[in-house]
Structure 1
Amino acid sequence: MTESQNKTHFGFQEVDEQAKQGLVGNVFRAVADNYDVMNDAMSMGVHRAWKWFAVAQSGVSAGDSVLDLAAGSGDLSLKFANKVGPDGMVIVTDINAAMLAQGRKRLTDAGIAGNVDYCLVNAEKLPFEDNQFDCISISFGLRNVTHKDQALAEMRRCLKPGGRAIILEFSQPTNSTFRKFYDAYSFNVIPKLGELISDDRDSYQYLVESIRQHPPQEELKQMMLDAGFDRVRYHNLTGGIVALHMGYKY
């Protein structure tokens, strides 16, 4: 099978691998303007607590260098920039120009300058040197990457020895009863919210489907180990709706 014939998933659809990046790009161009409003609506604001927890667990401190992949509207980047201070650096990245513009706007409006830079980046092919960053984060973005193993390997390559990767992503609820409630909410409510708030049901239908295609907790942990990370662990948040995975480079 040639590369052009390789298949992957786009939500519940099967598509050519080469087509997925463009399809995902279309989704995030469509949702960029209402991204934060929809995050609050879908999670009832709980996404803010998930992100604060991720930053607290990252161990980032003054003077550190941080690479924030799939930074979206920049809420983690803003928190990291405040933590690293004027002697540190945060590289704010996204593969989608519309989302990166949202992140730049958030940080600029917050008065963040001097210790941040912005870059359009494909997580599978990072344009950075080996051993460059103290911490690399990706928040609610890994599930959209076609070759997750490549992205994980690139994250490890760009970390300094002793550096840590943090991956905040939707996962699988651990309680079967809660999972049924979550599935009902996801498939029946979230696309409807997308339709009402953003006039875009299809993008949020993709969101729900992409979550179900993402590797669950133990599988993602093993993928990080296979990529060469050490001391890999994860924390389930809100019953496993979201998981924070962490791994170190030694």
Structure 2
Amino acid sequence: MSETVSFGYEQVLPEEKTARVGQVFASVARRYDLMNDLMSGGLHRGWKDEFVRMVKPRAGEQILDMAGGTGDIAFRMAARGADMTVADINPAMLEVGMDRAAKRGLTGLVWQEQNAETLTAPNASYDAYTIAFGIRNVTDIPAALREAHRVLRYGGRFFCLEFSTTEWPGFGKVYDEYSEKLVPQIGRYVAKDEASYRYLIESIRRFPPMPAFAAMIEAAGFAQVRARPILGGLVAIHSGWKV
């Protein structure tokens, strides 16, 4: 890992990034899902539905949803019978998820405060590992991918939903203009936090394009690595298998 890492467009020490990302999500936790609706025009719901369809959770499977604090992915997979562990480094996000679960009468989920780079689970604990819109906020992404590989059983599957770089001519420029100028203002008025949403947009810009991220997944030990672009690659679903 390099001496410094990116925090948006800044270069900071790794421990500083971890702390500052924690502050971002502690600040936005209570408005996180509302902001997702506003920023994506509700499209994130369909992306998450498609993500879960690709994971194909089955009854009795043990699945770890990393960076899943508010429960959006876990609720969908639990409805298909999977035994879900929801992990997040941020206790404020987990608190939101547990409150949402209680209101829905969902009692079977396990909630854990975990760092994706240093999971406490034993080797070969899970049938699937999922992470949605969280990997780009991890300080040491290769370490997190290696941990995902370690905690999966042989034959286990890895799925990651994340923003990427759209390859549709013209659309990327329009989206860049929207996200750079409007999203922070939405954050300012709705979440009362312009700076956090400016960072989140910057973190999307700094995230590796699909081929580079796929290579990182392969380097962590996964096989049959694939990327499925959505909206030309604005969002991508990455997958791989532990074999």
TM-score relative to the length of structure 2: 0.97
Indicate yes or no: 2:175 matched with 1:182: yes
* Structure 2 residue aligned with 1:76: 73
The Cα shift of 1:172 comes to 0.4
The Cα shift of 1:110 comes to 1.2
The alignment partner of 1:54 has SS state of: helix
Indicate yes or no: 2:118 matched with 1:121: no
| Among 114, 137, 146, the residue aligned to 2:139 | 146
The runs of 5 or more residues in structure 1 that have no matched partner are none
TM-score relative to the length of structure 1: 0.95
Identity level (%): 41
The Cα shift of 1:176 comes to 3.5
What is the CA–CA distance in structure 2 between the aligned matches of 1:249 and 1:105, rounded to whole Å? 34
Equivalent residue runs for 1:147-226 within 5 Å:
147-226=140-219
* Length, aligned pairs only: 243
Q: Which runs of 4+ in 1 moved over 3 A?
A: none
| Among 105, 116, 121, the residue aligned to 1:111 | 105
What is the CA–CA distance in structure 1 between the aligned matches of 2:56 and 2:123, rounded to whole Å? 21
Amino acid at match of 1:104: M
| Among 12, 16, 19, the residue aligned to 2:16 | 19
Amino acid at match of 1:98: A
| Among 43, 53, 56, the residue aligned to 2:40 | 43
User: Does the aligned pair in 1 maintain the 2:61–2:127 contact within 8 Å?
Assistant: yes
The superposition leaves residues 122-163 of structure 1 with CA deviations (integer Å, 9 ceiling, x where unpaired) of 000010011111110011000001110010000011111111
What is the CA–CA distance in structure 2 between the aligned matches of 1:107 and 1:198, rounded to whole Å? 22
Indicate yes or no: 2:238 matched with 1:245: yes
User: Does the aligned pair in 1 maintain the 2:59–2:83 contact within 8 Å?
Assistant: no
* Structure 1 residue aligned with 2:87: 93
What is the CA–CA distance in structure 1 between the aligned matches of 2:102 and 2:210, rounded to whole Å? 35
The Cα shift of 1:73 comes to 1.0
The Cα shift of 1:92 comes to 0.8
Indicate yes or no: 2:30 matched with 1:33: yes
